[in-house]
Amino acid sequence: MRVFFNARHDAHDVKSEFYHGHTIPPLDDPRRMGIIRDALAHKIAARLVEPVDHGMAPIRAVHDARYLHFLSHAWLDWQKAGYDGAAIPAIWPALPRQAGDTNLYHLDFKNIDGAANLRGGDAANGQVQESGSPKHAQEQLSEAASASYAASAPARNMAPAEDAHIVKRLGYYAYAIDTPIGEGSWQAAYWGAQSAISAANALLDDGEAAFCLSRPAGHHAHEARYGGYCLLNNAAIAAQHMRAKGVGRIAILDIDQDHGDGTQQIFYQRGDVLTVSIHASPDTHFPYFTGYAHEQGEGGGYGANLNLPLADGTGFAGFGAAMEQAAAKIASFNADMLIVSLGVNAHEFEPFGRLGLMTSDYEKIGARIAQIGLGTLFVMEGGYAHDVIGQNVAAVLAGFLGDTSAAMMP
């Protein structure tokens, strides 16, 4: 398999992150990529390919222009402000500030146009209930959300000026404190996007599956927000690039343990790109505010988003059943191409792994993805346990290629 490897990933080399009140060494360690690269070379005879620079146009087709300006200037502006260390947000607006966010179902709103304290699943005071018609509930929530955005947070729907104080811009564009921006973060993210675009082009040229191996990851990056170790959404950029190249319908399957909230947000109102995410329950796992089953899309995108949240400890029995649901949805969508956001952080040895998957399970997942029968692009997302990350990624790809003996090689 061709592996489009972002050799510039190590420019993103921050020295610490905040986790539950402590400063810890970053889990998104540059060594991760070398471990995966070496495992793939050993186990599936991967062919490393250097990405081509396609410029900013494919990135701008997905991400907001002011957001991109912020990302590309954040480190320099942080330095100009006289701050040391990585750029880390410290203050956020108190209300939702970007129209199109998909965490509306779990936010309380003030009494605006009848949208009093809407919260999915609450039964009091005439609130929308999940037990009712999903489409009807979605329509009510969409109306309430639109009214609430317009009336309660107009200033937060406008990005700060490009010359606004860097602390203000960090707080506006970040939604989590876990993603420091360092001197080389933009360079690493930019070349990650180029790797995804290059891999997409290769797949379109000859139909052979390809893998984008890069960091930082992307599936938590929204159109104009970052967090969860993600700056640019590589899977979304690849999908939009394929659409621009004439591919009719694209499915994105996210198997990372955390909900792909950024990918969902980007395509939530579109019916040409199906987003499917299998992940741990957002009741107890990042990103907490999205990833619920009733989030099915909005407007023209209603029905083109499928979330399959799983309970802790579900193992392959639960994950495999979710894979069957995902495959059925992709088949009914009549997708022409498949993009897989490949995270392996649901493994039992992962630092946050709660679903209880084993390396042999990842082989089965790869084989099931192959059975979907579409041209497939894999894009690297999460996975942080150095002892198993290489063999888990190799297991998925070996299972996909039908080389199950390679998946379990030491």
**Residue 372 corresponds to which amino acid?**
I
Q: pLDDT tens digits, residue range 221-277?
A: 999 999 999 999 999 999 999 999 999 999 999 999 999 999 999 999 999 999 999
Active site residue 386: no
Active-site residue identified among 9, 63, 220, 279? 220
Regarding predicted confidence, which is higher, 115 or 42? Answer: 42
First vs last C-alpha separation in the chain: 19
Residue 133 pLDDT greater than 90, yes or no: no
Nearest-angstrom CA–CA distance, 233 and 161:
23
> What percent of the chain has a predicted confidence (pLDDT) above 70?
83
β-bridge pairing 22-24 and 17-19 = antiparallel
Q: Which tokens sit at 265?
A: 């947000």
β-bridge pairing 273-280 and 250-254 = parallel
Q: What are 253's strand-pairing partners?
A: 276, 340
How would DSSP label each residue in 183-206?
TTHHHHHHHHHHHHHHHHHHHHHH
Query: CA gyration radius for the chain?
Result: 20
Q: Which tokens sit at 14?
A: 């921050």
| Per-residue pLDDT, 18 | 84
Which residues in 240-382 belong to E strands, given as ranges?
Answer: 250-254, 273-280, 305-310, 337-342, 375-380
Nearest-angstrom CA–CA distance, 250 and 267:
11
- Give the distance between the most distant pair of CA atoms in the chain: 62
Residue 179 pLDDT greater than 50, yes or no: yes
Q: pLDDT tens digits, residue range 38-80?
A: 999 999 989 999 999 999 999 999 999 999 999 999 999 999 9
> What percent of the chain has a predicted confidence (pLDDT) above 90?
76
Nearest-angstrom CA–CA distance, 31 and 25:
13
Structural domain spans, the chain: 2-65+180-407, 104-152
Q: Give the up-direction half-sphere exposure of residue 218: CA atoms within 13 A in the CB hemisphere.
A: 38
Instruction: Please state which architecture CATH assigns to domain 2-65+180-407.
Output: 3-Layer(aba) Sandwich (3.40)
Q: pLDDT tens digits, residue range 336-369?
A: 999 999 999 999 999 989 999 999 999 999 999 9
Handedness of CA 228, 190, 87, 390 (dihedral sign): positive
Nearest-angstrom CA–CA distance, 276 and 82:
43
β-bridge pairing 17-19 and 2-5 = unpaired
> Using 50, 70 and 90 to split pLDDT, how confident is the model at 406?
low
In this prediction, residues 285-306 reach a mean pLDDT of: 97
In this prediction, residues 169-186 reach a mean pLDDT of: 96
Regarding predicted confidence, which is higher, 380 or 18? Answer: 380
> Using 50, 70 and 90 to split pLDDT, how confident is the model at 19?
confident
Residue 85 pLDDT greater than 60, yes or no: yes
> Using 50, 70 and 90 to split pLDDT, how confident is the model at 125?
very low
Strand order in the sheet with 2-5: 47-49, 2-5, 210-213, 375-380, 337-342, 250-254, 273-280, 305-310
3-class secondary structure per residue, 96-107:
CCCCCCCCHHHC
